[in-house]
Each structure stands twice: as C-alpha cells, then as structure tokens.
Amino acid sequence: DAGVTQSPTHLIKTRGQQVTLRCSPKSGHDTVSWYQQALGQGPQFIFQYYEEEERQRGNFPDRFSGHQFPNYSSELNVNALLLGDSALYLCASSLTMLVKGETQYFGPGTRLLVL
Amino acid sequence: GNSVTQMEGPVTLSEEAFLTINCTYTATGYPSLFWYVQYPGEGLQLLLKATKADDKGSNKGFEATYRKETTSFHLEKGSVQVSDSAVYFCALTPPGGGNKLTFGTGTQLKVEL
C-alpha cells in the first residue's frame, strides 16, 4: 500500500511566478491537509480539504489556494511567489476529518526555493 | 488559540542514556496529542498519540502520558540509540474535530556513541 506521495520533490522558482504542488493520499483516505514548514520550524497549517471542499484554513493569504479532485488527490497553488514562500510543503492525509484524533500521515514533501 | 511549547534543542545524549523531551500545550477542552518524528531529508512520521486524559501512547520504546492537570505530554525513552537522532515534534488537534494539527517548534536530538 503506497503511502502519501507528493510531486515534485524539489522546485526552484523566481519571485512573482506561480507554482502548483501535487499530492496523492493514502489509499482509502478522503481528507487532505497541507502544511508549510520553514527551515528550523514546525509545520504550519495551510488548509484542509474534504469532499472536494476547503473545510478549514490557517493564517495564509489568498495567494495560497487549493483543490481536491474526485479521487481525493489534491493540489496546492501559490501565486505571486515571495522569497518568504521558500519552504518544505507537506501534504498529509487521514481516513476522515470527522473523527477526533484521527492520525494524519505525511508525505515526503516538496521543497520549494524562490529566488 | 491553541499552542504547543517544546523544550529547545539540540539535545545531545550518549547512546543508552535516558531521554525526556518536554511538551506543554494550551487548548480548551480535551485536545488529542501527538508526537511526530522527522529524520533528515524526510517528511514526518507519527511516533505515538493519546486522545484522552491519562492515556499513555507508546511505540518503539518511546512513551508519553497525557496529563490534563499539568497540560503536558512529555516524551520519554529509557535507552536511546544513534538511530533515534532526529527532530521530534509535539502537536495537538482540537477537541472539536477537523483535525488541524498545531505543532511545536521541534526538538533536535543527537545521540552519540
């Protein structure tokens, strides 16, 4: 059983560009969350998708947007990239968002560098 | 809002030493508590969790007990190995569901021979 997969593994962009990151959840998982991890910091919650809708959002600007597809895979889009967007972007999936304390399983991440 | 505070690292120990990494939280009600581990260049792996007060999570020799009275979830291991060298994150999800994880800043552990 494949775990959470993310693509690409690394990405280099310049300021002002747009980027799309992709995530496939574990088999049977219907909830996908995205986190941003700056160097030396803990991950910060960006948003969560369930049934193809954004259900929760962290303190991130509208430049960060996402999508969930009928097969539960998800995309994270970031527009008008800033140098401060350089980070490791982690995708996590869980069996459901409806159960308290449900475990989230993380992918290996996409490392984004903005020059 | 919810928050998690961890002891700062790095923590450097000799192999077979006892490990404690402190974690305290601020949240209303009864959150679920987690420890995740991140090895160099990798994503996060769940180490253990506890979803109600006085529960003890355990895995691979690591243990943590959910203490509501002290709002703590300290991570312990009786005898660390070099392979335990990694960054450890304490985290919580709110009691109301939705499962948004709030993480601490992480504690780097280095185990030397």
* Residue A3: Cβ-neighbour burial (10 angstroms; 0-12, 13-18, 19+): middle
Amino acid letter for position A66: G
Q: Please judge whether B100 and A106 are an interchain contact, meaning their C-beta atoms are less than 8 angstroms apart.
A: no
The model's confidence at residue A96, banded by pLDDT at 50, 70 and 90, is confident
With CB atoms and an 8 Å threshold, state whether B44 touches A108. no
Render pLDDT for B79-96 as a digit per residue (tens, 0 to 9): 999 999 999 999 999 887
Cα(B97)–Cα(B36) distance, integer angstroms: 19
Return mean pLDDT, chain A: 94
Q: What is the pLDDT of residue A25?
A: 96
State how far the Cα of A111 lies from the Cα of B85, in Å rounded to an integer.
Answer: 22
Q: How far is B38 from chain A (nearest CA, A)?
A: 10
Given this model, what pLDDT does residue B108 score?
96
What DSSP string runs through A68-81?
E-TTS-EEEEE-S-
Residue B41: its pLDDT value, please? 81
Work out the number of other CB atoms within 10 angstroms of the CB of residue B41.
Answer: 9
Q: What per-residue confidence (pLDDT) applies to A1? A: 66
Give B1's contacts (C-beta < 8 A, 6+ positions apart). none
- Nearest by CB to A100, from B44, B95, B101: name it: B95
Preferred mutation among B36, B37, B99 to probe A, highest tally of A CBs within 10 A: B99
pLDDT in tens, A34-59: 999 999 899 999 999 999 999 999 99
Helix, strand, coil fractions of chain A, as percent rounded to 5? 5, 50, 50
- Whether residue A9 lies within 8 A of chain B, CB to CB, comes out as no
Q: pLDDT tens digits, residue range B19-46? A: 999 999 999 889 999 999 999 888 899 9
Classified as helix, coil or strand, B63 is strand
